[in-house]
Structure 1
Amino acid sequence: MTLFWIITAVLVLIAIAFFAVPMLYGKEYDDVASRDELNKAFFKDRIHELENESQEGLVENRQELVSELQQSLLDDIPESEVKKSVQVSAGMLLPGIILIVGVSYGMYASVGGIQKVEAWHDAVNRLPQLSQRLLGDNAANEPLSDQDMSDLTLALRTKLHDDGDDPMGWLLLGRIAMANRDGETAEMAMKKAYDLNPVDGDIQLGYAQSLMLSGKPGASDTARQLLRNVVKKDHTNVQALSLLAFDAFEQNKFEQAIAYWTMMKKLIGPDDSRAPMLDRSIERAQERLNADDKAKSIASGSAATATTEAAPKVGAEQAKQQVVATISLAPNVVMPKQGAIIISVHSADGAPMPIAAVKLPLTTPFPLTITLTDKDSMMPQRKLSSLSEMIVRARIDSDGNVMTKQGDWYGESQKVMLGGDTKVLINKQY
């Protein structure tokens, strides 16, 4: 910031120099030389006129007239040349200098965005702190707000502008963009990281995830190849197996999906909190595998409805570690022809990154009641039960790409305590 003010001071001094130097030293001029040039021009014009008049017979004593002109020209030449200059005192320059400084800094204060510049530098200085909070390394485990996420993105972009050869920086930017559902930025950042370090497993995994979420033609094939490379190097990479299983399920390759989920169960063990979720996924894939095309659609809707209706039948202790949401549609909502229903739980401050989420088929009837528990948590280290207060959001995803929101209908609940019930009315559109 100090360098910035030094540069502005230098620019203002240059402007003052352009103003003061000509005023102090003046502009020399020579009246004698100017008069001499004028006399010469007059002499030449008169000689030309005399020649014309002599040819027409109007002048008989032409030579005498020329001699008189020459004599008058010689008489007008001064004995010595005198040069004059106009100068001003330094005191007369002071008002102009004050005006230049005042106008320069006044205009910058008015239209230069000094507050935004200061906020930008503050965000850059907070980059280490914000990065630790994002990764959950701070002792208070304080979640990032929307403004914090925006500041972190700005600071990280600044760092990458100065040091664009940092693959881990691009990886972090891509993860933040995915959390903010900015698919274009996520894919760009992940590709930058991959181009810089194509052999790193985390970068391959992140780039594959961004490609799968982009929905571009051919992107899924590249993503699958990257994920297979990750699993080939590290067959215990649960996240890569999970993405492959999800992709196989979306491609109606249910046998592959079951194989991946079964492998994941063996890796994490029966005591892991994710095991029940994997059991449900395997059961769902098995049902789809055993049904015909018509029964698949019905079974998918029935399975989701059965899950939402059976949720309240839990013990009293479990009921304290969950949140029950009833989702309904406003009359003006226009349902898309395809898509999904995404229900997510967020911290009470409204942070964009969900703590838990459930995706239901669009055929699920409204109003619907769903119970979200720790089994639906996005990350094992951050469970739904760790929140004492939360909000529930529901969105009708119209294009099958969870990264995009344009045109989607959504709604949000009031703050609700852990173990409580809430209602969500979908009545707004992005």
Structure 2
Amino acid sequence: MTLFWVLTLILVAIACVFVAIPMLKPKANNDAALRDDLNKAFYKDRLAELAVETDEGLVEDQQELVADLKQSLLDDIPNDQNKTEERSLSTSMVLVPSLILVVALSYGLYAVFGNYQKVQHWQDISQSLPELSKKLMNPQGVELTDKEMEDLTLALRTRLHYEPQDSTGWLLLGRIGLANRDMETAIGAMKKAYAIEPQDGDIKLGYAQALMLSNDQVDQQSARTLLNKMLKADYVDLRVYSLLAFDAFERQDYPTAIEHWQSMQQMIGPNDGRYEMLSRSIASAKAKMEPAVLDEHAVSVSISLGSEVVLPNQGVVIVSVHSADGAPMPIAAARYPLGNFPFTVIMDDSNSMMQGRKLSDLQELIVRVRIDSDGNVATRDGDWFGESQVVELGSEVKVEINKQF
């Protein structure tokens, strides 16, 4: 801020100079100069006339008349010294108040309309960026208040405006977006950080987390792809398993969720305080699986992939239940996000498609599973699919996707 005030002083000084110059250097008094020139011209003309009149004998004492003419000329000369003193005094009386007024107006108007407090706050926040960033980067420390989050966002955006290649800054801004549930900011910031440093583990994890929380299925699938790539690394962050387990649980892919939670338990060991929490999560997933499997009016469908199947970058898994005669119109159907295979789903009356006819009305049935790559149910060219044998209602069904339309 010291530089700011120095610059304001320079600007105010320049303004004062422009005010003072016209007062210190007034325009020449043209009337006095014209009168002086006129008197000199009149004096010279009168001298010429006196010479002519003397030659004609009309003037007896030429020298006396010349002396009187000179005295008249001297009497008409203005007192410049007195006028200069008066003008200097007048200038001083006007100049000093004018300069004071310029300074007062400049700083007074800035105090009223210049938002000095906001500028000062902005500068203070920019100075406290390292401290606020440290708090945000340490989730186990003191949580940031809403006011601190706003201040940190302002400071980060200021820094990123001047340093757009700062991947850590974009990562922090993305985390703030996640904390505020501002997914547009979170995904946008994480994407920029990932573009700058695509090999950084924290950035990849943050980007995947932001995409995972998006309502767009394409973003969610991109997150799964990124996380699955991270699983193949020599070292896998515990949070990668956590995100994949959470996603699988939300998609009702309970076996995959259990698998990831068990992997986390192996990494942390039974002495870790989180081990018991993971055990409860595994028990919860198993509890959601068991009732449906035991329900005689539902079908448990385990879905796996054949070795030749190549998954599309995006798409959905469509599971449909048909009557035993293989009728094309499904009795029940459901769609699931394209994720990790194998996984298990439960089909029951809540998935029924035909009014007046429920899944529980069937005694025998066929289950078909298709990977739909374009979201159009009517389009099947190139889609992979699989079909079960005829099974009884309440049975466990295994379907392998290994055929292509």
Smaller-chain TM-score range?
Answer: 0.5 to 0.7
Report the Cα distance in structure 2 between the residues aligned to 1:294 and 1:215, rounded to whole angstroms: 33
Report the Cα distance in structure 1 between the residues aligned to 2:249 and 2:285, rounded to whole angstroms: 7
Match in the other structure for 1:255: 255
| Alignment deviations for residues 23-56 of structure 1 (CA, whole Å, 9 cap, x no partner) | 444467989xxxxxxxxxxxxxxxxxxxxxxxxx
Match in the other structure for 1:223: 223
Work out which of the residue numbers 121, 130, 133 in structure 2 matches 1:131: 133
| SS at 1:218 equivalent | helix
Match in the other structure for 2:393: none
Report the Cα distance in structure 1 between the residues aligned to 2:253 and 2:26, rounded to whole angstroms: 88
TM-score, normalising length: structure 2 = 0.53
| SS at 1:233 equivalent | coil
Residues 234 and 184 from structure 1, CA distance in 2 versus in 1: closer, same or farther, beyond 3 angstroms?
farther
| Alignment deviations for residues 378-419 of structure 1 (CA, whole Å, 9 cap, x no partner) | xxxxxxxxxxxxxxxxxxxxxxxxxxxxxxxxxxxxxxxxxx
Report the Cα distance in structure 1 between the residues aligned to 2:212 and 2:29, rounded to whole angstroms: 77
Report the Cα distance in structure 2 between the residues aligned to 1:137 and 1:246, rounded to whole angstroms: 19
Aligned ranges 1:266-277 → 2 under 5 Å: 266-277=266-277
The answer (yes or no) to whether the contact 1:236–1:267 under 8 Å persists in 2 is no
Match in the other structure for 1:187: 187
- Give structure 2 stretches of 5+ with no counterpart: 32-86, 296-405
Instruction: State the 1:243 CA deviation.
Output: 0.5
Report the Cα distance in structure 2 between the residues aligned to 1:257 and 1:165, rounded to whole angstroms: 37
1:120 aligns with 2:131: no
Instruction: State the 1:202 CA deviation.
Output: 0.8
1:158 aligns with 2:123: no
The answer (yes or no) to whether the contact 2:136–2:172 under 8 Å persists in 1 is no
Report the Cα distance in structure 2 between the residues aligned to 1:288 and 1:186, rounded to whole angstroms: 32
| SS at 2:213 equivalent | helix
1:212 aligns with 2:212: yes
TM-score, normalising length: structure 1 = 0.50
Match in the other structure for 2:99: 97
Instruction: State the 1:109 CA deviation.
Output: 1.0
Aligned ranges 1:20-419 → 2 under 5 Å: 20-26=20-26, 89=91, 91-136=93-138, 142-292=142-292
Report the Cα distance in structure 2 between the residues aligned to 1:256 and 1:106, rounded to whole angstroms: 68
Residue-pair matches, total? 240
Instruction: State the 1:106 CA deviation.
Output: 0.7
- Structure number with bigger Rg: 2
| SS at 2:232 equivalent | helix
Instruction: State the 1:20 CA deviation.
Output: 3.3
Report the Cα distance in structure 2 between the residues aligned to 1:273 and 1:25, rounded to whole angstroms: 86
Report the Cα distance in structure 2 between the residues aligned to 1:117 and 1:294, rounded to whole angstroms: 67
| Matching residue's letter, 1:194 | Y
1:4 aligns with 2:25: no
Report the Cα distance in structure 1 between the residues aligned to 2:185 and 2:139, rounded to whole angstroms: 25
| Matching residue's letter, 1:233 | A
Q: Relative contact order, CA 8 A, sep 6+: which one is greater?
A: 1
Instruction: State the 1:242 CA deviation.
Output: 0.7
CA RMSD in angstroms comes to: 3.1
Instruction: State the 1:246 CA deviation.
Output: 1.0
Instruction: State the 1:91 CA deviation.
Output: 4.7
| SS at 1:164 equivalent | coil
Report the Cα distance in structure 2 between the residues aligned to 1:12 and 1:127, rounded to whole angstroms: 33
Instruction: State the 1:159 CA deviation.
Output: 2.2
Report the Cα distance in structure 1 between the residues aligned to 2:212 and 2:196, rounded to whole angstroms: 20
Match in the other structure for 1:16: 16
Report the Cα distance in structure 1 between the residues aligned to 2:235 and 2:283, rounded to whole angstroms: 23
Instruction: State the 1:209 CA deviation.
Output: 0.7
Report the Cα distance in structure 1 between the residues aligned to 2:234 and 2:113, rounded to whole angstroms: 55
Residues 90 and 182 from structure 1, CA distance in 2 versus in 1: closer, same or farther, beyond 3 angstroms?
farther
Report the Cα distance in structure 2 between the residues aligned to 1:184 and 1:15, rounded to whole angstroms: 47
State the identity as a percent: 49
Report the Cα distance in structure 2 between the residues aligned to 1:93 and 1:177, rounded to whole angstroms: 57
